[in-house]
Chain A
Amino acid sequence: MSRMGRVRAETSAGWRSFVRRRTAVFFTFFFPVILIVIFGALVRTDPAGGGLFTEPPAYYVPGYLAVVVLFTPLSRMGSEVARHREGSRFEKLATTPLTRAEWLLAQTAVNAAIIGLASLLILGLVILLTGANIAFSPLLVPYVLVGVVCFCGIGAMLGSYTDSQDGAVAASNGIGLPLLFLSETFVSPELLPGWFGPLVNLSPLTYFARGVRAATYSGAETAAVAGVDPALANLGILAVLAVLAFALGARSIPQTD
């Protein structure tokens, strides 16, 4: 079987396993929906006021997308790796022609399909509930895909270095939540202390947020990077980080437990 055939077999098994866990499917889509309802429809943005949510609704689109682009891979990959470890599945797979990178690629494909659907739902709801004025740039597609690759790699590392499903989920929450709010998603840089700026630059999600905002929000003031259009430059940076995270994630997957 070719590499494509192996990845297809693994992707098919991963997809079926996911859609048959109804609770997981429900909450994968419910989580971003409830967040949009709370922040977008109940709290609402207030451009004239102070504090959080003072930007126009379109500013927060990268944040809402980040809920699934960040959290879903972190928690799904973390628990999937832990589940595989507990069932000696990696030990089995290590004796087949499937490589660790192929396994991670297949799981990334499953996540990309789930997150692609969730992203469409989020964009629809954001427009419907908040009246956000969004430019539908084709760059949204590579941003979501590259973001999923990046965070699947990080999720695989979390699952590999924690010792249980519980541990993986706790770790993904512990890392995901700060990243979600401190990566120029919901909290604009002006609201953070000056010394925090360099730390924001360490988060891969920052480049996702900057790039998506530059591509979809006409009022974005995202700076160009070395003279390159910010929508493309941030995609490039995110892609480099994604390749690194994917390679490290694949390498971290254990063979025995």
Chain B
Amino acid sequence: MEAVVDATDLEKVYGETVALSGASLSVAQGEVFALIGPNGAGKTTLVRALTGTVEPEGGTAAILGASPAAVDRDRLGVLPQEFSPPARLSARELLAYYAGLYEDPRDPADVLADVGLADAGDTWYENLSGGQQRRVCVGSALVNDPDLLFLDEPTTGIDPAGRRTVWRLIEDLAASGTTVVLTTHDMAEAEHLADRVGLLADGSLVAQGPPDDLVREYGGSSRLTVETTADPDAFADLEYPVERPARGRDRTPEAAVVVREIDPAAIGSVVDYLEARGIEYTGLSWAEPDLEDVYLALAEPAERERTARLEGERGDGAADESDLARTGETA
């Protein structure tokens, strides 16, 4: 199938900060592609390079068969990450305003209904809740019925019900042939919506593929989390590998051990083991690996490498959050 988005070896540097370092991706028509990665990984820069609002220093990019700067903008829909439209226009007026910029727009009233704001259409943007505001912004990217849609963190700040509305909207668009590239920090969102996911770390895509494939390749094994203060050595005779993750890592409670590679049918044997040895525990939870495990497995090492490199470049071992913050989500 023809690639609607095609980028090869994109490079972009802001001052001394490398935002993109050989990023390549290809997205087919009707596909939903989710970009995930830590803050400052380069997601927004990649979206900007693909939408023509940032000019990369190296590499090539094409969308809808043209360079991003020359693409037919009537076919393109974009929601920037920190977008804030005129505050004293109503939701209806805002959608009508953006619709007025296109050749053959949708009826703004339909878009308003699609984003679940038919009842709030006459409310000024500044008086809408944060989630409603974001939904208006999503609507502004849909008014031209685009063939290619870029959504930079579309559901940030939206409540679960509103998020589901946006998800359904994206699913419907993809079903009707619209190609969607979105960035998100919500792994459930990426896993739910995306045909393929790309994990961006340190300016390049370190892994991409269907969520299930990524989970199989990088997600590790299933895990049974036992909430207990007991030492992992107390589990030495258990037939499964047991570990105590670092504090706060791997989505486990602080006082817990994780039993790996265990089938759900075998959980009873672990309970028997705990009771036979008098090991006190406060909870058990079993989970298959998911996209968040992939993220933790791939992004965290990349982030540690980057932090170490920053420390090395500064030569004083003082790289800290401020270095990472400077690259920022807009980097």
Contacts and interface: CB of A to CB of B under 8 A. Distances in A.
Interface of A: 1, 5-6, 8-10, 12-13, 16-17, 20-21, 86-89, 91-98, 255-256
B204 interface: no
23 contacts: A1-B102, A6-B100, A8-B100, A9-B101, A10-B97, A10-B101, A12-B97, A13-B93, A13-B94, A16-B86, A20-B88, A86-B84, A87-B82, A87-B83, A88-B81, A92-B140, A95-B76, A95-B150, A96-B101, A97-B73, A98-B101, A256-B48, A256-B53
A255 B100 CA distance: 20
Interface in B45-97: 48, 51-54, 73-74, 76-89, 93-94, 96-97
B52 A95 contact: yes
Contacts of B83: 87-89, 91-92
Contacts of A94: 51-53
B2 interface: no
A87 B76 contact: no
B173 to A, nearest CB: 17
A16 B74 contact: no
Contacts of B124: 20
Given A16-B88, A17-B86, A96-B73, A1 B101 contact: yes
Interface string B95-135: 01111111101000000000000000000100000000000
Contact of A87 (B78, B85, B89): B85
A46 B85 CA distance: 51
Given A20-B88, A91-B83, A5 B78 contact: no
A86 B124 CA distance: 19
Contact of B84 (A10, A20, A87, A93): A87
Contacts of B79: 92
B86 A91 contact: no
A76 B284 CA distance: 62
Contacts of B81: 88
Nearest to B150: A95
Given A1-B105, A87-B83, A87-B85, A95 B100 contact: no
A255 B53 contact: yes
Interface centre among B81, B84, B86, B97 (most CB of A within 10 A): B86
A47 B77 CA distance: 63
B122 to A, nearest CB: 13
Contacts of B102: 1, 96-97
Nearest to B82: A88
Nearest to B126: A20
Given A91-B48, A92-B140, A256-B48, A21 B88 contact: yes
B260 to A, nearest CB: 44
B103 A1 contact: yes
A185 B272 CA distance: 95
Nearest to A5: B100
B40 to A, nearest CB: 16
Nearest to A13: B97
A97 B103 contact: yes
B78 A16 contact: no
A5 B105 CA distance: 12
B80 A91 contact: yes
A86 B82 CA distance: 9
A5 B102 CA distance: 9
A13 B73 contact: no
Contact of B101 (A6, A16, A21, A255): A6
Contacts of A92: 78-80, 83, 85, 140
Contacts of B85: 87, 89, 92
